[in-house]
Chains A and B, each alone.
Chain A
């Protein structure tokens, strides 16, 4: 969400001293839906097994002894596992990465356990679609053929930086200090790395789902689903066209024939109390596993959906969520924005900057007893903590109470606020926003998927989204969208805008882009 806190209702401001700051917030008004589900990890690892220890070495750089793994790069630079580990470069998927002039080859078990074969499809994007320096392109073209790795030659690669043909690996590859037991654990883990096919993909189809919860208006629902239907239809027509023309392929598209799939969309409607949503999601997923969850629109907390993504290790790309799970962030849930939370944090920063000099600012925040009010109100309180100059008061309104002029008059009289914060409605809501953000989420998903070629790994897909977000043509709802490894919120800040009033017809920003 890029805009929100606003100054409106000028009849209030006239009654207040003009020297006092007045901030009104009109945010999304959605019925109360609180559902906090204890989050659980996606992996059902076998306790104490070699694979689990190996995974910890790979992902966190921590040895079974609890010590960080030590390594040397570039000849004489000693690094510890907490600074740099296998997953940093080869990524969680094991499919490697390309960054700057560095080419990091895949080390999925399929790659390691086979003689290295040269497949143009795997290198196509690196060679022709990424602007990379000459050095990088030279490296990618260097065949470096090698036999398949064995447990012994893998140990030599990890410790001494030698590949099975005896060739010295790049000095960027760490030379690890690992005991025989550590190597055994790590190799046991590597044998599982992206070894199983991802659910939701077969030879001809790839399944996606989207979520619509109860409480979403028919117009909002349609705004999202119409765009998705159109996108899926277009995508499938394009795929059909490609597949009909084998042999006539000026852009080497035949190299990718194996990657084409029909896209199938499943709409998962969640009904009833949010406490029952986890069960409903589970039922949908059992019926038809999906490769990823794309978009989704809901009223209230997004916790049950977020938890589902993390539990089942399903990549989820959410463009509309106002109440994402901010802490702790997940591995599989990616959001366009922190929604109401980043707005509360940006507002706190603005208030702190503005009232820095004026002592004893009295801020009153008004919200209904629903998660859409409670969550941003809590975030604002947290962001203003330890700020001696402000006094923050909460006024919680019962859900069915009407907000009449008389209500506001008495509130102003009782509280005498210098700043009034309202977490109430969604006056800046527009269907275009839903449509554009849905479109952009699908665009990013499509291009991220294309980068995988035939390697349908969910982790690889997420890594690809992290990479693609910044380079894709941002349609402008958010000033800047960008992810990176491990980043889970693409837009990092918020504008404070003035709503159209008596003098201004257009909404306009009041101040700079705030990154709290």
Chain B
């Protein structure tokens, strides 16, 4: 399991390397190798879900049949966030450990405010989930961390939060570029360039527990159901 995760990370690092800096002209050969690796990873990802979430996977399959589109995958992982201090939208310094160590359920996303396509939908999902939770929302902490911290100053995060009608306990964080990269790396969410980021939502029920990682976009109903199922366990 651990080795597989490392393999996956190695593959990701290789991807970053080839795409970073000057454009490497991909040869067919390299592309085929990549495609093969990706296919193997996809297979492995599916088996991991089966291995770890048997009940949930059945639910997922059923849903997939209904919509004919398997649109997100679930993985359970343990992450070790770096010891960094970020800034909230009021400009107050917030140690990441205290934000993530919140004594209650946490939902975490990486976004940026000028992101055109997936962030408005990811943030919109959290915003819609806020309203679906009802009184439970009091206990839940939502966290959106900007992956474009030099652009996303606290003022811009405030504006973004207003735009999505964020309620009280929702934290919007920015910080130093290197720290933000370190946080993304710790969550296996760093893709070398903000335009390449992927829609991922991380959930955990209480401090110290593993994270449920949801890769892909989903409806607010699905997200709320995932969250409730996690808390109930």
Contact = CB atoms under 8 A, between A and B. Distances in A.
Contact of A492 (B27, B115, B150): B150
A131 B15 contact: yes
Contacts of B193: 470-471
A89 B116 contact: yes
Interface string B1-38: 00000000000000110111111011100010001001
A132 B117 CA distance: 15
Interface in A72-113: 73-79, 82-84, 88-89, 91, 97, 99-102, 104
Given A128-B31, A482-B148, 8 more contacts: A74-B219, A76-B220, A83-B164, A102-B217, A127-B31, A132-B196, A172-B121, A486-B114
B121 to A, nearest CB: 6
B85 interface: no
21 contacts: A74-B121, A74-B218, A74-B220, A76-B220, A82-B163, A84-B121, A128-B31, A130-B19, A130-B196, A133-B38, A134-B39, A134-B42, A172-B118, A172-B121, A470-B194, A471-B20, A480-B150, A482-B151, A485-B114, A515-B150, A515-B153
A83 B71 CA distance: 23
A484 B195 contact: yes
A480 B177 contact: yes
Contacts of A77: 121, 124-125, 127-128, 219-220
A447 interface: yes
A484 B41 contact: no
A99 B114 contact: no
Interface in B168-212: 177, 191-199
B163 A100 contact: no
Contact of A99 (B19, B35, B148, B195): B195
B219 A484 contact: no
Contact of B116 (A91, A101, A492): A91
9 tightest A-B CB contacts, nearest first: A75-B219, A492-B150, A131-B19, A484-B114, A84-B120, A134-B38, A100-B198, A131-B15, A89-B117
Contacts, number: 141
Given A467-B195, A484-B194, A492-B151, A102 B118 contact: yes
Contacts of A129: 19, 23, 25-26
Nearest to A89: B117
Contacts of A97: 116-117
B116 to A, nearest CB: 5
Given A102-B117, A131-B196, A172-B217, A484 B151 contact: yes
Nearest to B112: A484
Interface in A484-515: 484-487, 492-493, 515
Contacts of A102: 117-118, 199, 217
Given A97-B116, A133-B198, A84 B16 contact: no
Contact of B151 (A73, A134, A487): A487
A5 B115 CA distance: 33
A73 B121 CA distance: 7
A82 B164 CA distance: 10
Contacts of B217: 74, 102, 171-172
A485 B19 contact: no
A99 B42 contact: no
B69 interface: yes
A100 B124 contact: no
For this complex, into which size category does the number of interface residues on chain B fall? Answer: 35 or more
A172 B117 contact: yes
A357 interface: no
Nearest to B123: A83
A137 interface: yes
A99 B117 contact: yes
A391 to B, nearest CB: 24
Nearest to A463: B116
B116 A485 contact: yes
B82 interface: no
B61 to A, nearest CB: 17
B27 A76 contact: no
B41 A134 contact: yes
Interface in A113-162: 127-135, 137
A356 to B, nearest CB: 14
A418 to B, nearest CB: 26
B78 interface: no
B92 interface: no
A197 interface: no
Contacts of A447: 23
B2 to A, nearest CB: 22
Nearest to A76: B219
A473 interface: yes
Interface in B33-61: 35, 38-39, 41-42
Contacts of B38: 133-134, 137
A259 to B, nearest CB: 16
Nearest to B39: A134
Contacts of B69: 171
A88 B117 contact: yes
A100 B216 CA distance: 10
B221 interface: yes
Contacts of A74: 121, 125, 217-220
Contacts of A493: 150
A251 interface: yes
Interface string A46-81: 000000000000000000000000000111111100
A129 B34 CA distance: 12
A77 B35 CA distance: 33
Interface in B128-180: 128, 148, 150-151, 153, 163-164, 177
A84 B19 contact: no
Nearest to B177: A480
Given A83-B164, A129-B26, A484-B112, A73 B195 contact: no
Contacts of B115: 99, 484-485
Contacts of B124: 73, 77, 79, 83-84
B11 to A, nearest CB: 11
